[in-house]
Amino acid sequence: MKIKVANIKKAKNLLDKSNCIAIPTETVYGLAGNAYSNRACKKIFELKKRPKNNPLIVHYYNISQLKADCILNKDFFKLYYKFCPGPITFVLKLKKNSKISKIVNNNKKDLAVRFPKHPVARKLLKYLNYPLAAPSANLSKKVSAVKSEDVKDDFGKKIKFILEGGTSSIGLESTIIDLRKRPKILRLGGLEISKIKDVLNKKILYENNPRKISAPGQFKLHYSPDLPIKLNVKKVKNYEAYILIKKVRRIKPNYFFLSKNGNLKEAAKNLYSTFRKIKKSQYKFISVERIPNKGLGKTINDRLKRASKF
């Protein structure tokens, strides 16, 4: 994709003045502001209607920029050099003299950080002299945005500028791992746990118990398209939208395919846009075929489960 320098400059001008803009990342679009500016971070929470105690992820260009704000450890270095830039977010301890706005993490002593891979996001981050706080660019609890039109649908003119970056290549949010003590997955995402395990070569905790919530992204009723969803469905009525993992021979108007041949990467990429497409059509229910629970299928099933708690 060709990057328009004029757009990067416009983005920087707005961000320098503590405005919020939408930026593309390879996972989903983000609603970004200067992470060192109280004013910018306050605006993000207001725009997103996000509760103050739900912290933001801060986006960096590289490790040397991060060193000013966080305490790094061995596990972090291993994962950073293997997967970054990419779809993984680390929870680390904040340095005492960090300049991160206290609004980002509600005055707590830890910070979630990530290094997006999208070339437009990287070009922008390299050009700025501060990192960007950015939650996903969707209204609180709803489906994330994977292209600029999705952001427009959710926020209209409330956002001053959307930096164009095409469709997000991964289409699901980053995997969040807490590295402050023993590595612990807080949210399934675009990077499979098995790949993380191979690099760290030790046990990784993953608690999928909604009663013990450490990242609000683990809340039930999240990622919701605002329609009732039934999972593992084999037969549907014509008035229900039916999401299938791969194309079938006898196609019906209410069938929506996540992938041509059952490829889970392709399915992940198409999940949120399929939700949005169905929501814009006349359907009042969504039924979903069983999705294989392996690799990215685990993340897809996690999002489907949360979306189905309608």
**Which residues of the shown chain bind ligand TXA in the complex (CB under 6 A)?**
25, 27-28, 30, 54-57, 89, 91, 105, 110-112, 114, 134-136, 173-174, 176, 186, 214-217
- Closest distance of CB 176 from ligand TXA, Å: 5
Stretch that binds Mg ion, among 91-99, 130-138, 206-214, 226-234 (CB under 5 A): 130-138
SS3 184: strand
Task: Determine the angle formed by the axes of helices 74-83 and 193-200, rounding to 10 degrees.
Answer: 120
* CB nearer Mg ion, residue 112 or residue 241: 112
Is the torsion defined by CA of 207, 190, 175, 205 positive or negative? positive
Interacting partner of 300 out of Mg ion, ligand TXA, none (Cβ under 5 to 8 A depending on kind) = none
The nearer residue to Mg ion, 65 or 136, going by C-beta atoms, is: 136
Residue with smaller CB distance to ligand TXA, 114 or 276: 114
Contacts of 26 (CB under 8 A, 6+ apart): 86, 87, 116, 117, 118, 121, 168, 169, 170, 190
The terminus-to-terminus CA distance of the chain in angstroms comes to 38
Give least dist CB 142 to Mg ion, A: 9
Instruction: Decide whether 34 or 138 has the Cβ nearer to Mg ion.
Output: 138
Alpha-carbon span 130 to 60, nearest angstrom: 8
Per-residue DSSP letter, 246: B
Q: Which is nearer to ligand TXA, 25 or 37 (CB)?
A: 25
Nearest residue to ligand TXA by CB is 217
Q: Tell me the closest approach of the beta carbon of residue 156 to Mg ion, in angstroms.
A: 19
Min separation Cβ 296 and ligand TXA, Å: 14
Give min distance, CB of 68 to ligand TXA, in A. Answer: 17
- CB of 171 within 8 A of CB of 27? yes
Which one, 73 or 140, has the nearer CB to Mg ion? Answer: 140
Site membership for Mg ion, residue 174 (CB under 5 A): no
Helix (H/G/I), strand (E/B), else coil: 79: helix
Give yes or no for residue 148 binding Mg ion (CB under 5 A).
Answer: no
d(CA 28, CA 173): 6
Tell the smallest beta-carbon distance from residue 159 to ligand TXA (Å): 14
DSSP H helical ranges for 97-226? 119-127, 148-155, 193-200
Contact between 136 and Mg ion by CB under 5 A: the answer reads yes
Task: Return the number of the residue (188 or 244) whose C-beta is nearest ligand TXA.
Answer: 188
- Which one of Mg ion, ligand TXA, none interacts with residue 308, CB within 5 to 8 A by kind? none
Q: How far is CA 127 from CA 13, 98, 188, in A?
A: 11, 20, 30
CA distance 191 to 175: 6
Q: Which one-letter amino acid corresponds to residue 269? A: K
Question: By the criterion CB under 5 A, which residues form the site for Mg ion?
Answer: 136
